[in-house]
C-alpha cells in the first residue's frame, strides 16, 4: 500500500503510482470526506493536461505606432495606464 507523509503546512504528495492509476493530473480538484474515523479522497473535477503551445495566439498585442523595434520594459510607464479612460478599445 502506498503511503505519504503530511508536511508542516498540511500538504500530502499523492504517490506517483496512485496518480497514474487514477489519472490525477495537476489542477484536479479533490474532496476530503470524513466517514467516522476514515478519510476518503474523492475526485471532484478532473483536468486534462494541456500543452503550452495550445494557448498560442490567445493574446493579441496591438502593434506600436512607431517602428523603433521591440518594446522594452524600461519604456513601460504604469502611471500612464491610470490616465487612460477605461472602455472599449
Q: What is the residue extent of each domain of the chain?
A: 1-49
Cα–Cα distance measured from residue 41 to residue 34, given in angstroms and rounded to the nearest whole number: 9
Average pLDDT over residues 22-37: 91
Confidence of residue 84 (pLDDT cuts 50, 70, 90): low
Q: What is the pLDDT of residue 64?
A: 64
Cβ contact 3:13 at 8 Å = no
At which residue does the C-alpha cell 503530511 appear? 6
Reply yes or no on whether the pLDDT at 10 is more than 90: yes
Contact present, 22 and 33 (Cβ < 8 Å): no
CATH number 2.10.260 given to 1-49: yes
CA distance 2 to 17: 8
Stretch 3-8: mean pLDDT, rounded?
91
Give me the pLDDT at residue 87, please. Answer: 59
Amino acid at each position: 500500500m502506498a503511503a505519504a507523509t503530511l508536511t508542516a503546512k498540511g500538504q500530502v504528495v499523492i504517490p506517483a503510482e496512485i496518480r497514474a492509476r487514477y489519472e490525477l493530473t495537476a489542477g484536479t480538484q479533490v474532496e476530503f470526506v470524513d466517514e467516522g474515523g476514515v478519510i476518503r479522497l474523492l475526485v471532484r473535477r478532473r483536468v486534462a493536461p494541456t500543452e503550452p503551445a495550445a494557448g498560442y495566439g490567445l493574446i493579441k498585442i496591438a502593434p506600436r505606432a512607431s517602428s523603433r523595434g521591440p518594446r522594452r520594459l524600461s519604456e513601460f510607464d504604469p502611471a500612464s495606464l491610470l490616465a487612460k479612460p477605461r472602455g472599449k478599445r
